[in-house]
Amino acid sequence: HPSPGSNFIRNLVEEDNRKGTWSGRVETRFPPEPNGYLHYGHAKSICLNFALAEHFGGECHLRFDDTNPEKEEQEYVDAIIDAVSWLGYDWGKHLYFASDYFETMYQCAVALIEAGNAYVDSLPADEMRALRGTLTEPGSDSPYRSRSVEDNLDLFRRMRAGEFADGAHVLRAKIDMASPNLNLRDPVIYRIRRATHHRTGERWCIYPLYTFAHPIEDAIENITHSICTLEFEDQRPFYDWLLAALADAGMFERPLPRQIEFARLNLNYTVLSKRRLIQLVDEGHVDGWDDPRLPTLIGARRRGFTPEGFRLFAERIGVSKSDSWIDMSVLEECMREHLNEAAERRVAVLDPLKLVITNYPQGSEELCEAPNHPLKPELGRREMPFTRELWIEREDFMEEPVKGFRRLFPGNQVRLRYGYVVRCTGYEKDEAGNVTAVLAEYMPDSKSGTPGADNYKVKGNLHWVSAVHGYRAQVRLYDRLFDQPHPGARREGDAPELERSFLKDLNPNSKQVIEAWLEPALRRAQPEERFQFERHGYFVADRIDSRDGAPVFNRSVTLKDSWAK
């Protein structure tokens, strides 16, 4: 794996190492909530956390943050495990579920109560909210704030025992109702919630809040650097307060984990919000969670994007402390870079037009050799049958060439790549005036790889597939899901009252299904095998729909950026 370049997080860790805070130990975690599929944004966090630990010889934990019973499911746990391993990371023995810590979390809450650092509040939610104050006004104490430790312990125990209705009481940290940081105004840390949890079932009817649970999870696992997105910056004082209070109460030993925030990935021409992704799937705008157009990691995998491409992307965009937008072309270029290196070359004709070599004997055929990779001779060569009738791209012929057109037109010579030089002698049309075949003569002494080949200087170099041996197969041409950089954003000229739905910015051409002519060697493609289709782009054999001997291909990315202005 590429090691992370210098970034501010790495610098902070180095500083901690110099100071000897954790005696040089570095332990990070990736803590997804199993309530949905991972997306490109998560890939940034995964790469960051794993690469950081790897760089310092430490380890990164995969921890399911499953403290919220309602929305979490085993299906998502499995999908997340698959996605992180697909990206190429190994958490070793460090696979954890926050729900396994419920008992410890409960004990932590008890320890806080005993130290006078937490109390049971019985105010209705709206009254509690009213007492919270605002950014400019301090909050005021709840009348229950002065409950005795004994009463609090008793009530909290009975909350756990199921003696009260949902919402009847909450447990709050006792910090400071006048703090300028609203997160320190006695935040709720436990609530009563009768819900079935995907792992603990009905065992609990009280659940910790995320802001309470997360620091404890980190401390239990001896995390050194807890890296999270910027919106948690205001929570850091509570994170530190809580762990210090628990360390003082003997629950944890110092040094305690340190929270560090970074800017989340914002990527244009797509949406990375779970809510919007769910809407796209539920309303059928895409073909499910693994639709190659969705920015999910299962979608990316099906599209033929590569783990190496994602790691390169994470490295290239780096990490920063302020929000910014990354252009989709950066991600696409990373995929191209890796695929250019990794993918073998093949030939496919996507929009076929017949080419007839009139002086090539009827029924004859021969083999042309083509390298599997121009820069890697060790990948060998393959043979492509050459016959009198071939398929070429419709756009490679013009009856009346426009200026600068160097491909086939009457009288012009081009090379059929890996084969012969041919000269266009004419064409045929149907009654509607559509060209149905192009006619040409080949030069028998011009075959690529033979001494005569060098005598021919041509400007056009076309790909082709034998009309006898090539075969038709389904190819899906995927493109960006949205044709606007900021889906749903207002545009110049929008009426003030107009609310633009992000759905209005869906790209109507994001998926095109065609029947292409493929060279025979492609029949053997295995699911997920990736290729460059010469002159077209990178394609992958679909991992779901491909059948033995009949792969179906998805376009991962075009050869060049077609969106550049």
Binding site for ATP: residue ranges?
33-35, 229, 264-265, 272-274
Min. distance of Cβ 79 from ligand ATP in angstroms?
Answer: 12
For ligand ATP, the closer of residues 209 and 272 by Cβ is 272
Q: How many CB atoms lie within 10 A of CB 121?
A: 24
Distance from chain centroid for Cα 238: 31
Is 316 a residue that touches ligand ATP (CB under 6 A)? no
Is 31 a residue that touches ligand ATP (CB under 6 A)? yes
Residue 371 preceded by cis peptide, ω within 30: no
Min. distance of Cβ 134 from ligand ATP in angstroms?
Answer: 25
- Residue 76 has which token pair? 């998502």
- Those residues whose C-beta lies under 8 Å from the C-beta of residue 226, and which sit 6 or more positions away, are 28, 29, 214, 215, 218, 239, 257, 258, 259, 260
For ligand ATP, the closer of residues 193 and 264 by Cβ is 264
For ligand ATP, the closer of residues 210 and 456 by Cβ is 210
Q: How many CB atoms lie within 10 A of CB 325?
A: 11
Active site residue 264: yes
Of 132, 160, 193, 264, the active-site residue reads 264
Do 440 and 419 form a contact (C-beta atoms < 8 A)? no
Q: How many CB atoms lie within 10 A of CB 448?
A: 17
Distance CA 50, CA 58 (A): 9
* C-alpha dihedral (290, 292, 294, 296), degrees to nearest 10: 50
Burial class (CB in 10 A: 0-12, 13-18, 19+), 330: middle
For ligand ATP, the closer of residues 326 and 342 by Cβ is 326
Do 95 and 80 form a contact (C-beta atoms < 8 A)? no
Min. distance of Cβ 274 from Mg ion in angstroms?
Answer: 8
The binding site for L-glutamine consists of: 65, 210
Burial class (CB in 10 A: 0-12, 13-18, 19+), 291: buried
Site size for ligand ATP (CB under 6 A)? 14
Q: Between the CA of residue 395 and those of 218, 404, 406, 412, 413, what are the distances in Å?
A: 59, 14, 11, 15, 16
Report the partner that residue 272 touches, choosing among ligand ATP, Mg ion, none (CB closer than 5 to 8 A by kind): ligand ATP
Stretch that binds ligand ATP, among 34-42, 102-110, 147-155, 250-258 (CB under 6 A): 34-42
Residue in 25, 145, 264, 345 binding ligand ATP, rule: CB under 6 A? 264
Min. distance of Cβ 210 from Mg ion in angstroms?
Answer: 8
Min. distance of Cβ 444 from ligand ATP in angstroms?
Answer: 60
Distance CA 17, CA 305 (A): 36
Q: Contacts with ligand ATP in 206-245 (CB under 6 A)?
A: 228-229
Min. distance of Cβ 44 from ligand ATP in angstroms?
Answer: 4
Active site residue 316: no
Is 68 a residue that touches ligand ATP (CB under 6 A)? no
Min. distance of Cβ 297 from ligand ATP in angstroms?
Answer: 12
- Those residues whose C-beta lies under 8 Å from the C-beta of residue 443, and which sit 6 or more positions away, are 420, 421, 422, 423, 456
Do 174 and 136 form a contact (C-beta atoms < 8 A)? no
For ligand ATP, the closer of residues 313 and 464 by Cβ is 313
Transcribe 324-388 into DSSP letters. Answer: -EE-HHHHHHHHHHHHHHHPEEE-EESSEEEEEETTSPTT-EEEEEEES-TT-GGG-EEEEEEES
Of 274, 406, 417, 423, the active-site residue reads 274
Is 295 a residue that touches ligand ATP (CB under 6 A)? no
Site mask, ligand ATP, residues 42-61, x = CB under 6 A?
A: x-xx----------------
Is 506 a residue that touches ligand ATP (CB under 6 A)? no
Do 512 and 477 form a contact (C-beta atoms < 8 A)? yes
Distance CA 448, CA 417 (A): 8
Phi/psi of residue 511, nearest 5 degrees: -145, 125
Stretch that binds ligand ATP, among 39-47, 96-104, 364-372, 427-435 (CB under 6 A): 39-47
Distance CA 11, CA 383 (A): 53
- Those residues whose C-beta lies under 8 Å from the C-beta of residue 65, and which sit 6 or more positions away, are 31, 32, 33, 34, 98, 210, 213, 214, 217
Report the partner that residue 558 touches, choosing among ligand ATP, Mg ion, none (CB closer than 5 to 8 A by kind): none
Min. distance of Cβ 272 from ligand ATP in angstroms?
Answer: 5
Do 260 and 225 form a contact (C-beta atoms < 8 A)? yes
The binding site consists of: 33-35, 65, 210, 229, 264-265, 272-274
Active site residue 33: yes
Report the partner that residue 31 touches, choosing among Mg ion, ligand ATP, none (CB closer than 5 to 8 A by kind): ligand ATP
For ligand ATP, the closer of residues 130 and 278 by Cβ is 278
- What residue number has its CB nearest to ligand ATP? 41
Is 274 a residue that touches ligand ATP (CB under 6 A)? yes
Is 33 a residue that touches ligand ATP (CB under 6 A)? yes
Of 14, 25, 33, 160, the active-site residue reads 33
- Residue 234 has which token pair? 């205001």
For ligand ATP, the closer of residues 274 and 535 by Cβ is 274
Report the partner that residue 215 touches, choosing among ligand ATP, Mg ion, none (CB closer than 5 to 8 A by kind): none
Is 476 a residue that touches ligand ATP (CB under 6 A)? no
Is 543 a residue that touches ligand ATP (CB under 6 A)? no
Q: Which residue ranges make up the site for ligand ATP (CB under 6 A)?
A: 31-33, 35, 41-42, 44-45, 228-229, 264-265, 272, 274
What positions carry a catalytic annotation?
33, 264, 274
